[in-house]
Amino acid sequence: MNETELLNVCQQFATKSKALKVAPLGNGLINTTYKVTTEGSAPDYVLQLVNTDIFTDPEMLMNNIVVVTRHIRRKLQEQGVGDINRRCLQFATTLDGKHYLMQQGKCWRMMEFIPDTVSRSGVSTESAYIVGHTFGNFQAMLADIPEQLGETIKDFHNMEFRLQQLREAVAENRAGRLDEVQWLVDELESRADDMCRGERLHREGKLPKRICHCDTKVDNILFDRNGDVLCVIDLDTVMPNFVFSDFGDFLRSAANTGAEDDENLDNVNFNMDIFRAFTRGYIESARGMLTDVEIDNLPYAACLFPYMQTVRFLADYINGDTYYRTKYAEHNLVRSKAQFKLLQSAESHLQEMKQYIAELLG
Ligand code: GN1
Ligand code: MG
């Protein structure tokens, strides 16, 4: 879409000032995001085209997000936190009062742009502790949302379901790519039972679902200049899940010494200093709400997310790249290999992780 058409979309929203300019923003793999510059000193905005092939129920999606941001805003007010507009997303409404616009089959939304933030591809050991603390708080804040939230993507972090998708991809071999990746499929299958532990514990009634963000990669966090977390963005996947989701997915990006799609696997390792700092902060602030089963399985969560992401990227590669935005033909394969390397590295530190958590608990 050209800029005039995008500006036209902006005009359907009740923004605080007139939209002047629209330009691409960020590097999400699912939705398409733009920065909207407005006239004068009023806030700028973020405009997003929601990928409705993936988020098929915009009504539920936006309802979840509105409920969650309202809840967080109220908690921050109660806690006397300042600068709330920089710590919680604020969505614009359309001229007829809705939180999204459907136009020619496309779903749009707008939120206020938070200025002077830093987005990072990683965190330092110092900030990992603070980030852990903030995440623990974030989950604790969400723990008492009275409303029932919907599952915006059904079975999103359900490991059994993700494996079933991989198995279907393998059985169909639609893009004819199976031969070159069979070795990786075998590696993943050999870990499948262990990695479905969360679902088993849940069925046995030993593991609760809570409201989680479910996409806590570092990219989805806005930091201030000191490295403190200001705000968690990308709330589309906020839904009931195991606490492992947010803990594990954060470490998947933050503790990776390389990139998510690093071509050089020597760059990719699981950084235990980041693990320790983050886990210390997280346990300090979330301990009151976490059960023993949840705490005991945090090291499992640190492995689960590189594993799940390998399964997802690989299934998409085998299917011929129908889900994730890719930049080149082998991109999903490169991503799969990098996530698998991260998994192997995390596995090699499992004992150390368990020991560290035991020490923390004293
Ligand atoms: C996607 O939209 P984005 O880039 O923040 C994906 C996550 C993956 C992530 C991998 C809805 O997140 O689950 O972990 O890519 N989101 C969805 O980078 O599938
Ligand atoms: Mg994102």
Distance CA 20, CA 218 (A): 30
What does the block give as tokens for 263?
Answer: 């071509």
Residues in the chain predicted with pLDDT less than 70, given as ranges, are none
> Does ligand 1 come within 6 angstroms of the Cβ of 28?
yes
Distance CA 167, CA 66 (A): 36
pLDDT of residue 332: 98
φ, ψ for residue 111 (rounded to 5)?
-140, 160
Q: What is the 3-state secondary structure (H, E, C) of 263-322?
A: CCHHHCCECHHHHHHHHHHHHHHHCCCCCHHHHHCHHHHHHHHHHHHHHHHHHHHHHCCC
Distance CA 299, CA 285 (A): 18
pLDDT of residue 205: 98
Tens digits of per-residue pLDDT, 256-277? 999 999 999 999 999 999 999 9
Other Cβ atoms less than 10 A from the Cβ of 178: the count is 16
pTM over 0.85: yes
Tens digits of per-residue pLDDT, 106-165? 999 999 999 999 877 788 888 899 889 888 888 888 888 988 899 999 999 999 999 999
C-alpha 200: how far from its chain's center?
23
> Does ligand 1 come within 6 angstroms of the Cβ of 326?
no
Ligand 1 atom 17: residue of nearest CA? 30
pLDDT of residue 137: 83
* C-alpha of residue 77 to centroid of ligand 1, in Å: 30
Q: What is the 3-state secondary structure (H, E, C) of 186-201?
A: HHHHHHHHHHCHHHHH
Distance CA 360, CA 298 (A): 13
pLDDT of residue 220: 85
Residues with CB under 5 A from ligand 2 (ion): 28, 220, 234
What does the block give as tokens for 132?
Answer: 């852990």
CA dist list (Å): 19 to 25, 99, 116, 304: 16, 18, 20, 43
* C-alpha of residue 323 to centroid of ligand 1, in Å: 10
* C-alpha of residue 50 to centroid of ligand 2, in Å: 12
